[in-house]
């Protein structure tokens, strides 16, 4: 399993857009993105997203692997 990347909110938003997500709204420091299939991602708008938040709070509930994220980031 590849090492989890260190990403900012802006990098994560761009990667999610490549996966078909669309930015719906932003309330405070959280960005809400939706996919056509109904999945919703809430991304904290921080310079660096903590590894646990990225894996357990964002990727796992959406069924996205670290490998998929790395592919979209690069």
For 50-62, the pLDDT digits (tens) are 999 999 999 999 9
Name the token pair of 61. Answer: 């509930």
Interhelix angle 9-18/66-73, nearest 10 degrees: 100
Q: How far apart are alpha carbons 61 and 74 in whole angstroms?
A: 22
At 2, the pLDDT band (50, 70, 90 cuts) reads confident
Name the token pair of 24. Answer: 């719906």
What is the pLDDT, as a whole number, of residue 35?
A: 97
For 61-73, the pLDDT digits (tens) are 999 999 999 999 9
Q: Classify domain 9-73 at the CATH class level.
A: alpha beta
Domain boundaries, the chain: 9-73
Residue 15 has pLDDT above 80, yes or no: yes
């Amino acid at each position: 399993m590849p090492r989890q990347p260190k990403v900012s909110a802006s990098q994560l938003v761009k990667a999610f857009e490549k996966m078909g997500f669309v930015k719906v709204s932003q309330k405070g420091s959280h960005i809400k993105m939706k996919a056509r299939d109904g999945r919703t991602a809430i991304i904290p708008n921080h310079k660096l997203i903590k590894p646990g938040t990225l894996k357990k709070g964002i990727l796992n509930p959406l069924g996205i692997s670290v490998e998929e994220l790395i592919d979209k980031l690069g």
